Amino acid sequence: MAENFSVEEIKSLETKDLLKDMWDSLEAAGGIGLAAPQIGISKQLAVIKLSEESERYPDMEDSEAFIIFNPKITVMDDTEQGFWEGCLSVPGLRGFVERPRSIRVDFLDENAEPKSIEIEDFLATVFQHELDHLIGKLYIDRMKDISTLMFEDEMIFEEVEEELLD
């Protein structure tokens, strides 16, 4: 499990540089979220920014940019919903993962100020996916049916999704 940041660490120049590197890496990879453990830093930090310009997830709406230190998730609605998840740590693959539909996330922001947000649907899935990295999990660890793990360039999501729902 990744270690928490202290308030002093969050406010440090080293962490500001780390955040810049993470945002640059996320943009270069065309991703929508990145956790510190994905770049070899075992600390409780993730950045998330949904963009409707994403080639990997073309149907999503823009979100604000989130900088998340030391998060805690509370499930608000445990009704599960499924999405095709991909990951910069497992390039070229997608898998069908079901997660709670609505969550609250309590965390510290880039100024070490406490924040709490309630989110649902795809954004909630993205948060859960990224924050899983902080506890050493990948989306493939959450898949109920490993046979849904597929190469991105060889699948048509709608056809496979119909088969799953039948």
Provide the whole-model pTM: 0.89
Q: Which two tokens stand for residue 48?
A: 């998330």
pLDDT at 161: 56
The answer as to whether 95 is a domain residue is no
The answer as to whether 16 is a domain residue is yes
CA angle at residue 96 from 91 to 98, to 5 degrees? Answer: 125
The answer as to whether 157 is a domain residue is no
Query: How far is the C-alpha of 30 from the C-alpha of 135, rounded, in Å?
Result: 24
Each residue's pLDDT, cut to its tens digit, for the chain (166 residues) gives: 999 999 999 999 999 999 999 999 999 988 999 999 999 999 999 999 987 666 666 666 778 899 999 999 999 999 999 999 999 998 889 999 999 999 999 999 999 999 999 999 999 999 999 999 999 999 999 999 999 999 988 766 555 555 655 5
* 130 has catalytic annotation: yes
The answer as to whether 89 is a domain residue is no
pLDDT at 50: 86
The answer as to whether 153 is a domain residue is no
Number of domains making up the chain: 1
The answer as to whether 87 is a domain residue is no
- CATH code, 130: 3.90.45.10
Among 15, 39, 116, smallest CA distance to 71 is for 116
The answer as to whether 44 is a domain residue is yes
Selecting among 52, 130, 154, 159, the annotated active-site residue is 130
39: containing domain: 7-78+101-142
From residue 119, give the alpha-carbon distance in Å to each of 6, 64, 69, 123, 124.
26, 12, 17, 6, 5
Please, which residues bridge with residue 117 across strands?
105
The answer as to whether 54 is a domain residue is yes
